[in-house]
Amino acid sequence: MSAEAQFPDEQFLEGEFKRQDDVFREWVTADGSSGYPAEGGRYHLYVSLACPWAHLTIIVRKLKGLEKVIGMSILDPIRDSRGWAFRDGDGHSKDPINGFEFLSHAYNATDPSYAKRVTVPVLWDRVTNRIVSNSEDDIMRMFDHEFGQLTTCDLVLYPENLREEIEALSNTIYESVNDGVYRAGFATSQGVYERAVNQLFQTLDMIESRLSTQRYLFGSCIVETDWRLFVTLIRFDPVYHGHFKCNFRRIIDYQNLFGYLKDLYQVDGIAETVNFDHIKHHYYMTHDNINPTRLVPIGPYQDLHAPHGRDSLGQPVR
């Protein structure tokens, strides 16, 4: 008997999950040359607190001090056959901008012929009434680069002198860790699952070694790659270890990775971007082919506020 695919249109015959490409890739620019000028109050971010890709944009919006510049609405973490929904509830709400009931309405308003899977995050333009981008990579870098005149924050997450190295390591982390947990969890054949898990832990082991001599991935400064990794690490023990069967080890079993996770979690403002209730309810209740009972585990216990023990590797440069 063959396993049921989570997203059949993104599943290949050999049982491998291959994520669809982002479709909307317009760009907000500081000078407006793209047709989308960086302006306060013009753009709105639609996100789920459960989704790691959306979480990345939430983090950068907060770190860059753009919360009063770019609005944000949070979707219901429990996604059904109709997709992501705007509902009033604990930590999520109806859409205050367009009155959309489902995020698919934003996609259809932008492209009535859109027929692929609807994903978060979405950056919405309130002037042209359309999606600018549904790419977390692009949105993160727009927030980092293009809104500088609208914030007093001088933090740079993608410094020019490290860009080549950042791209190389970010690509490795994306392929084997960020998307790797999904390739394991959504695999529908044993061989594909095992390859994904082996690649995942090879990369985690490599990062564990890298973090033994430096505080962050690129030394004493936190860059975008650290946050790309963080959004998967923070979900790993509560979800990916059990739900996606990535169970060689937990993150808490890695001395350096777990200390690093706590270190990033304790950066000002980051803990409030993490909602474990949304995270666990989304995965365990939405993926009912993986978890048919839809029971949500009450653990694991993680003291992320405990001392991280990373100070001996140097003080962060921010």
Task: Indicate the helix (H) or strand (E) that contains 137.
Answer: helix 136-145
Single-letter amino acid code for the residue at 282: H
Q: Which of 182, 260, 265, 284 is catalytic?
A: 182
Q: What string of DSSP letters covers 166-225?
A: HHHHHHHHIIIIITHHHHHHT--SHHHHHHHHHHHHHHHHHHHHHTTSSSBTTBSB--HH
Q: Which of 36, 43, 46, 51 is catalytic?
A: 51
Q: Six-digit token pair at 123? A: 């950056």
Asked if 51 is an active-site residue, the reply is yes
What is the sign of the dihedral through the CA atoms of 173, 174, 176 and 182? positive
Asked if 182 is an active-site residue, the reply is yes
In 3D, which of 107, 127, 103, 113 has the Cα closest to residue 24? 107
Q: Which residues are catalytic?
A: 51, 182
